[in-house]
Chains A and B, each alone.
Chain A
Amino acid sequence: MLAVGLLALHVGLSDRILTFLRPQMRPYLVISGAVLAVVAVVVLLAEQRVASRAPVTTRGTDADHGGDEHRGHDHDHDHDRGHRASRAGWMLLLPMFVAVVVAPGTLGAWAADRQRGVMFAGTYDFDVGPFLQAHAIAGTVPEMRLIDFSTAAADEADRAQLAAVSVQLTGFINRSDADAEVPDEVMLDRFIVGCCVADAALLEVRLSGEIPMELESEQWVVVTVRFDPEASPLATDVRRGESPVARVESVRPIDPPNEPYEYLYG
């Protein structure tokens, strides 16, 4: 339990949380990690006191188990229960094992390839008009989230406005394999997360035009693109898994961002 608490604290206090959860979860994760760690320490200390006062002779094997917090209060319960609980409790070590041995990273091109065809196609509410207007007044190149871009691109009324300007998108490059149906297609991918990455959905823009060959899959980039309405599907086709097309004007490689996903809720 102490270990789980510490893992939660470690993940919660570092940016690794952004690999797994949406940022709003951070305070809750930190608090729960702290609660677990404190309670675990209190229980362990209490056990030490009990153990030093009356050495437990009947449960010799438990000494080998290290930090199993069940040792302490087993003395006033039937052994059966304590053992059943602690056996399930050992499973708690698995996340630690996974974190250290597997060291999982953010979802990337592999996950994207598997999700192609089930792209996010919800009825997300986004009105591109006012957004672009604000940038036109300020004279800046609009930076758009992929979710906003895709939504506007699929909307019959919004797509003309979107096609009228160049916009900046952030995501990672995903090249199709040489033996794919259409070889050398280049996608700009990013996942959108509702609650945690278990519900992540793929956002994808098909890039046309010149993309330097040295940009490999999973290289994060900021691209300036112009939406291509002729080649892009409307909402009905998006539901069949087709993604919008954009002509690349410039590409700038960047380091992987702190927040690798887009988020559905604020």
Chain B
Amino acid sequence: MSVATAIRTTSEPRPSRGRALLVGSIVTFVAGLPTFFNRTDLPALENWGTIHLALVLQALPFLVLGVVVSAVLSTFVAPGAMARVVPRTTIVAVPVAALAAAALPGCECSSVPVAGRLVSRGVPPAAALTFLLAAPAINPIVLIATSVAFPGRPEMVAARFVASFLAATVVGLLWSRRRDASTLRFRGHEHTGTPAERFTSTVTHDFVQAGGFLVMGAAIVATIQTVVAPTTLQRLGGQGVVAVVLLSLAAFAMSLCSEADAFVAAGMAQFSPTARLAFLVVGPMVDVKLVLMQAGSFGRDFAVRFAPLTFVCAVASASLVGWVML
């Protein structure tokens, strides 16, 4: 497999053997898929390819938007300058960041590079992370899509907004209390040269970094969607807490775009409203695709610690809000 060998030859000066191993094994796994499916089930491979390309192509415009915004910040805002405009105390900055996120009509894919760049421009990491979580969940487009998918159920839209806001804020505040909170580093770096040169090299660097991980995420999601039968969820069913956990895990694995998840949730009529709310709150904040992109932008150690925290907070927040409002 030429792609796989190409990767291996480029990784000769291993700065981190574990990372090379991880990337290598994913690539080999993905590259091996065709051979596997060719022998067993050709439609499965085609299905995988269709979903993989669809995920990548769908995310591409949002990723490019995020990268361009990030590059504009990088080019025209001096490092650390944002520290002056952001509220000084974390307890204020975090909710403000969550509200600011509501105004960015982007998908999860644009918020990763933007949040990273905000950190390098002086925004407290906790606030930037809150922004990262809130942007895809509570922007107007997503809320409108939710109300279209749940006609006559405005409480679903309200509950989604409240639960997502709550979860994003809580994660931000919890993260700010970590001892190593301020050590979060965006793995993009500063470029030199004229503004135009800085702009193009930032776009290039951020895109290659986040895009590579996006492709990996899309490959994994496509594999899950192809291998796990869609009827599985229906068969498992479940009530109460089981249903909430089940749909939260489903949201994590399916990695749907936050504009489309409401209509999938609307179709899951056999699950309780609270479980469906959990599906809508967890999906935009933490899913396979997103965790990989975060690993790409902030490092794997960060993603490993941040994702479970987010998952737990999102599920808890959805359960609480669902219990009160639905």
- Chain A residues with CB under 8 Å of chain B are 1, 4, 8, 11, 17, 19-21, 25, 28-29, 31-33, 35-36, 39-40, 42-43, 46, 61, 64-65, 69-70, 72-73, 76-77, 79-81, 83-95, 97-99, 101-108, 110-111, 114-118, 120-125, 194-199, 201, 239, 241, 264-265
Tell me, yes or no, whether B73 is within 8 Å of chain A by CB: no
B298 within 8 A of A: no
Name A78's closest neighbour in chain B (CB-CB).
B189
Report whether A90 and B256 are in contact in the complex, using a CB–CB cutoff of 8 Å: no
Question: Which 7 A-B pairs give the minimum distances between C-beta atoms?
Answer: A104-B49, A88-B212, A195-B260, A194-B260, A110-B43, A102-B49, A89-B208
Q: Could you tell me if A19 and B50 are in contact, using CB atoms closer than 8 angstroms?
A: yes
Provide the B19-31 mask, 1 if CB < 8 A to any CB of A, else 0: 1100100010010
B45 at interface, CB cutoff 8 A: yes
Q: Which residue of B lies closest to A70 (CB)?
A: B208
Q: Is the CB of B47 within 8 A of A111?
A: yes
> Contact between A195 and B10 (Cβ–Cβ < 8 Å)?
no
Query: Closest approach, in angstroms, between the C-beta of B238 and any C-beta of chain A?
Result: 15
Tell me the complex Cα distance, A203–B63, Å: 31
- How far apart are the CA atoms of A98 and B1 in the complex, in Å? 13
- A89's nearest neighbour on chain B, judged by CB, is B208
Interface residue SS majority, chain A = helix
Among B74-82, B176-184, B215-223, which stretch is in contact with chain A?
Answer: B215-223
Is B7 engaged at the interface, CB distance under 8 Å to the other chain?
A: yes
Out of B152, B200, B205, which one reaches A46, CB within 8 Å? B200
Which chain B residue has the least Cβ–Cβ distance from A115? B230
Q: List 21 A-B contacts (CB under 8 A).
A: A8-B60, A39-B203, A42-B200, A73-B205, A81-B187, A81-B189, A83-B11, A84-B15, A85-B187, A85-B209, A87-B19, A88-B296, A94-B30, A95-B52, A102-B45, A103-B49, A104-B48, A118-B234, A197-B54, A198-B58, A199-B261
Seen from chain B, the residues whose Cβ lies within 8 Å of a Cβ on chain A are 3, 6-7, 9-13, 15-16, 19-20, 23, 27, 30, 34, 43-58, 60-61, 63-65, 68, 145, 148-153, 187, 189, 191-192, 197, 200-201, 203-205, 207-209, 211-213, 215-216, 218-219, 221-222, 225, 229-231, 233-234, 254-257, 259-261, 263-264, 266-267, 269-270, 296
Chain A neighbourhood of B152, CB < 8 A? 123
- Chain A: minimal CB distance from B324 (Å): 23
A59 vs B282: C-alpha distance when bound (angstroms): 44
| A93-B3 in contact (CB<8A) | yes
**Given A122-B149, A194-B259, residue A104 in contact with residue B270 (CB < 8 A):** no
Indicate whether A87 sits within 8 Å of B11 (C-beta atoms), given known contacts A1-B208, A8-B57, A70-B208: yes
Q: Are B64 and A35 neighbours in the complex by a CB distance under 8 Å?
A: yes
Q: Which of B50, B150, B189 has the most CB of A within 10 A?
A: B50
The chain B residue with its CB closest to the CB of A46 is B197
Could you tell me the distance in whole angstroms from the C-beta of A174 to the nearest C-beta in chain B?
13
Let me know if B204 and A1 touch, CB within 8 A: yes
Partner of B215, one of A25, A86, A91, A194: A91
A105 to B53, CA, bound (A): 10
Q: For the complex, give the distance between the alpha carbons of A40 and B64 in Å.
A: 13
What CA separation (Å) do A80 and B231 show in the bound complex? 45
Q: Report chain A residues within 8 Å CB of B16.
A: 84
Chain B residues with CB under 8 A of A20: 50, 53-54, 57-58
- A98 and B52 form a contact (CB under 8 A): yes
Q: Determine whether the beta carbon of A86 is less than 8 Å from that of B260.
A: no
With A46-B197, A94-B3, A199-B257 known to touch, is A31 a contact of B213 (CB < 8 Å)?
no
User: Which A residues are in CB contact (< 8 Å) with B269?
Assistant: 121, 239
What distance in Å separates the Cβ of B187 from its nearest Cβ neighbour in chain A? Answer: 7
Contact B53 A198 (CB under 8 A): no
Verify A105–B209 contact, CB threshold 8 A.
no
Contact A90 B60 (CB under 8 A): no
Contact B51 A198 (CB under 8 A): yes
Residues of the A chain whose Cβ atoms lie less than 8 Å from the Cβ of B209: 85, 88-89
Contact, CB under 8 Å: B19 / A84 = yes
Tell me, in angstroms, the Cα distance from A197 to B191 when the chains sit together: 38
Chain B CB within 10 Å — which of A97, A118, A121 has the most? A118
Cβ of B233: which chain A residues have Cβ within 8 Å of it?
Answer: 118
Smallest CB-CB separation from A79: which chain B residue?
A: B13
Give the interface centre of B189, B215, B216, B257 by most chain A CB atoms within 10 Å: B215
